[in-house]
Amino acid sequence: MTEQHSQPSFEAQFARLEEIVALLDRGTLPLEQLLELYEEAMQLIAWCRQYLEKAELRIIEIRGSSPPAEESPGPETG
């Protein structure tokens, strides 16, 4: 098994964040629960942000290691 199976996916973390936002938007929860959800949401935001930063760096690395695409001439005019 790989380490990826031990960590939740970006999609799962983001879905949980959306769920928390929906709960917070209702405004019907007790204050203590709101605070707990807010704290969890902030942790999820930090996790997602870090994940996206790593993904961006990986994309930059991939683009930097591949040869530039040849530009094809556009349609001739005239």
User: Across all residues in the chain, what is the average pLDDT?
Assistant: 87
Given this model, what pLDDT does residue 13 score? 98
Closest by CA position to 9, among listed 51, 62, 37, 43: 51
Lowest mean pLDDT among 6-15, 30-39, 60-69: 60-69
Instruction: Enter the CATH code of domain 8-63.
Output: 1.10.287
Distance CA 40, CA 14 (A): 12
Distance CA 53, CA 51 (A): 5
Q: What is the pTM of this model?
A: 0.71
For the record, the structure tokens of 35 come out as 């605070």
pLDDT above 50 (res 2): no
